[in-house]
Structure formats: structure tokens, C-alpha cells
Amino acid sequence: MTSLFDSFYASENLLQVFFVTCLLGGGAAWATGRALADSWRPFGQAVVYLLLLAAAVRFAHFALFQGKLFSLSSYLSDAAFLLAVGGLSWRLTRVRRMVAQYRWLYERAGLLGWRERPTPQADGKNPS
């Protein structure tokens, strides 16, 4: 585990990565995904913003803890984590919005999905 961590973050320790990437970056990724889903933006737009956020997180590592600014492996691991957090936030928010806004059409189908509501079947009785 340590050698894998060292291959991604050679000049930083676990506490620094947890603070900057997980807490600061993860919180910003969660808020980004939620805000984009609340405004009905597509997930592709979230990917672009989260990749930019990963660059900002890499800069925070550099500015706060003298980490390597231009480290592709560190950037990719930060980006993967932020995409996972932001994507989860985007999807949870999108499901909540679809079920709440179109409750006559959709119902929740698990944590990350929705399905069409079953149409009421006519019982064959004529009301007149």
C-alpha cells in the first residue's frame, strides 16, 4: 500500500493528501456535482469542471505543502477521486430532482436510479 501511495504522491504524506484532496477537493467536488445537477446541466459539463478542480487541487498541494505541481500520476489520482465524488453527487441529485419534479411519471428505483411509474390498469367497469 505504501509503495502504491508513494508512486502517486512521492513528496507528500497521507495526512496532506487526505486534507487537500479528500476534504477540500472532495467537498468542492460534491458541491459542484450537486449544483450542476440542480441546474439540469449534463454530466459531461460536470466532467470538465471536475477536471479543472483537480488542477486546482494539484495547485493547492503545491502551494500549501510544496508538492509537485506537474505530476501526471498525482493529477490523475486526484482527478479520479474528484470525478467519483462529483459524479456520485451529480447522480444522487439528478435522481432526487427527477422523482420530485416528475412524481407522476417516475418513482425511485434504488439509490441511483428511477423508473417510470406503472400506468393504472382499467378494471373494465364503465362508470356510467
pLDDT digits (tens, 9 = 90+) for 78-119: 999 999 999 999 999 999 998 888 888 888 888 888 788 888
Q: Write out the residue range of the structural domain in which residue 30 sits.
A: 12-112
Is 0.95 surpassed by the pTM of this model?
no
Q: Is residue 35 part of a domain?
A: yes
Q: Is residue 83 part of a domain?
A: yes
Our measurement of the distance from residue 10's CA atom to the centroid of its chain's CA atoms, rounded to an integer in Å, reads 26
Q: Is residue 34 part of a domain?
A: yes
Count of CA atoms in the C-beta half-sphere (13 A) of 111? 3
Give start and end residues of each alpha helix (H) in the chain. 2-8, 14-17, 26-38, 43-65, 72-101
CA angle, 65 as apex, 49 and 51 as ends, to 5°?
10
Strands of the chain (E only): list them. 106-108, 114-116
Q: Is residue 5 part of a domain?
A: no
Our measurement of the distance from residue 106's CA atom to the centroid of its chain's CA atoms, rounded to an integer in Å, reads 23
pLDDT value, residue 69: 81
pLDDT bracket for residue 124 (50, 70, 90): low
Return all residues near 30 (Cβ < 8 A) that are at least 6 apart.
Answer: 85, 86, 89
Q: Is residue 117 part of a domain?
A: no
Residue 128 has pLDDT above 60, yes or no: no
Number of domains in the chain: 1
Q: Is residue 77 part of a domain?
A: yes
